[in-house]
Structure 1
Amino acid sequence: MIIRPQTKGALVEAAEKEFTSLFSLIDSIPEEKRMKNFHFEDRDKNIRDALMHLYRWHLMMLTGMT
């Protein structure tokens, strides 16, 4: 069973934990591979694009919640 955050504070905490985990994973990829584009056509062409997409979603969630 997945426990989902029930408060804004819990959501922020979970997001920070997952971003730390994500950045650790990205840091484990050799730099030359991190800078390459993905081999498929989609909106997010590389890791930078995917991170900006996630960042903007997090901003929307954080600023849209009261």
Structure 2
Amino acid sequence: MHPNQLKDNSPEPVTATSKNKIWTVFFAIMYPIITVFGLLFTGIVAIFSAISRVFVFILRLIKK
């Protein structure tokens, strides 16, 4: 194989395509919504966990 036939494997600079720009804008808009959903979900899980702990506490008092 001739040395000039070897492919250049050096990384090419990343160009900002319109697809990348659209994704960046979409992510920037959706990020607060995703964050609020995550916080609400965490809060709901914490509430049900507290209810479960109270329920177990009451059942243990009754069982004694």
Considering the TM-score relative to the shorter chain, is it more than 0.5?
no
After TM superposition, the score normalised by the length of structure 1 is 0.35
After TM superposition, the score normalised by the length of structure 2 is 0.36
Larger Rg: 2
